[in-house]
Amino acid sequence: MQPARSWRTFVIYGVLTVFAVAVVGCSLSAETAAPQTSAPPTSADGGAIVGATTLSPALAHIHGLHIDAGGVVLAGTHDGLFALDPGTGAVNRVGESDDDFMGLTGVPGTSALFSSGHPGRSSSAANPLGLRASTDGGRTWVTRSLAGEVDFHALAATDRLLVGFDTASGLRVSNDGGANWAPGAAVAASSLAITDRGVWAVTDAGLQFSEDAGLSFSAVPEAPSLAMVAGARDALWGVDTFGNAWQSQDGRDWRNAGFVGRVEALTTDATNAYAATRDTLYRLE
């Protein structure tokens, strides 16, 4: 395992690197242009690039990822739920639903899933869907609550606690598996995670942390500038706005885990972690 390094150090390295490249570029003669070659992606901090698997076929936009009880990576997309093979990149539809699976999440390491969103063309369900639940890895779904009322864009779950953010009604908290909800803190969360320590929320003001199940939050100044988070047990993962992956246990000390670029979703079951775009799956280590 690499030693923990400050995210601020990586950002400074990135700025210096960009400056150096600009100086060298300006010094080149305008008379002869160097031949252009295809270069591999690089991170803002110079970190290692994470190994990637190309997905086939490519998906529609990914709203959420989950690792089920068998280690299968599930992706909630604009037109259904799909299983992703980390080894081959094969993509297969799960179940028959073509719903828009907003906020897909689940109880880490299990086949218990939760989602929100909008009904697909083949569905007669209420719009928005409210909270939907599956106990068989996404093959079948039932309405748990809030049908026709809420479209959770961010969700995080344990076996009892659910925290969700809806752009219209704000943060909501459920302590009974999603049957009943109460208002949470007044934070606009673009991404949510739950670990043994508490609830984590990515906001415009940076990463915030709650020790009281989402009723109040405090800033986490040591965290990188994260775009998304995922958590399970004692593992907290994030991807920053530069595309670097980070791992932490307490939100104070962070380990840079490599570069993934602008991904759409992130998940962990505490043992494994993945990030993905519509056409690429990254395994984080």
Backbone angles phi, psi at 83, to 5 degrees: -95, 135
Domain assignment of residue 52, given as a range: 43-284
Q: What is the pLDDT of residues 110-159, one digit of tens each?
A: 999 999 999 999 999 999 999 999 999 999 999 999 999 999 999 999 99
What is the β-pairing status of strands 162-166 and 142-145? unpaired
User: Does residue 34 lie within any of the structural domains?
Assistant: no
pLDDT band at 224 (very low <50, low <70, confident <90, very high): very high
Return the ∠ at Cα 226 (arms to 170 and 85), rounded to 5°: 95
Please give the helix or strand (H or E) that residue 14 lies within, else none.
helix 7-27
Q: What pTM did the predictor assign? A: 0.84
Q: Which of 181, 176, 218, 183 is nearest to 198 (CA)?
A: 218
Q: What is the pLDDT of residues 53-62, one digit of tens each?
A: 999 999 989 9
How crowded is residue 272: how many other Cβ atoms within 10 Å of its Cβ? Answer: 17
Q: Which of 127, 116, 101 is nearest to 172 (CA)?
A: 116
Number of compact structural domains in the chain: 1
Burial (CB count <10 Å: 0-12, 13-18, 19+), residue 262: exposed
Per-residue pLDDT at 47: 57
Q: What is the mean pLDDT of the chain?
A: 87
DSSP letter at 49 equals B
Report the percent of the chain where pLDDT is more than 90: 81
Alpha carbon 277 to its chain's center: 10
Identify the three-state secondary structure at position 172.
Answer: strand
Answer for the pair 66, 268: CB distance below 8 angstroms, yes or no: no
Judged against a pLDDT cut of 60, whether residue 32 lies above it is answered with no
Identify the three-state secondary structure at position 22.
Answer: helix
User: Does residue 230 lie within any of the structural domains?
Assistant: yes
Q: How far apart are CA 74 and CA 31, in angstroms?
A: 52
Per-residue pLDDT at 33: 34
Q: What is the pLDDT of residues 39-50, one digit of tens each?
A: 334 455 545 778
User: Does residue 12 lie within any of the structural domains?
Assistant: no
Judged against a pLDDT cut of 80, whether residue 195 lies above it is answered with yes
Judged against a pLDDT cut of 90, whether residue 77 lies above it is answered with yes
Identify the three-state secondary structure at position 19.
Answer: helix
User: Does residue 221 lie within any of the structural domains?
Assistant: yes
Judged against a pLDDT cut of 60, whether residue 7 lies above it is answered with no
Per-residue pLDDT at 36: 31
Residue 216's CATH number: 2.130.10.10
- Average of per-residue pLDDT across 163-176: 97
Judged against a pLDDT cut of 80, whether residue 251 lies above it is answered with yes
Answer for the pair 152, 170: CB distance below 8 angstroms, yes or no: no
- Average of per-residue pLDDT across 257-278: 97
pLDDT band at 3 (very low <50, low <70, confident <90, very high): very low
Ramachandran area for residue 170 (φ above 0: left; ψ -120 to 50: alpha; else beta): left
User: Does residue 273 lie within any of the structural domains?
Assistant: yes
Per-residue pLDDT at 50: 82
Per-residue pLDDT at 1: 43
User: Does residue 13 lie within any of the structural domains?
Assistant: no
Q: Name, in order, each residue with C-beta under 8 angstroms of 35's C-beta and a sequence gap of 6 or more.
A: none
Q: Supply the DSSP string of 72-131, one letter for each residue.
A: -EEEEETTEEEEE-TTT-BEEEESS---EEEEEEESTTSS-EEEEEE--TT----SS--E
- Average of per-residue pLDDT across 182-202: 98
User: Does residue 217 lie within any of the structural domains?
Assistant: yes
Judged against a pLDDT cut of 70, whether residue 30 lies above it is answered with no
pLDDT band at 34 (very low <50, low <70, confident <90, very high): very low
User: Does residue 27 lie within any of the structural domains?
Assistant: no
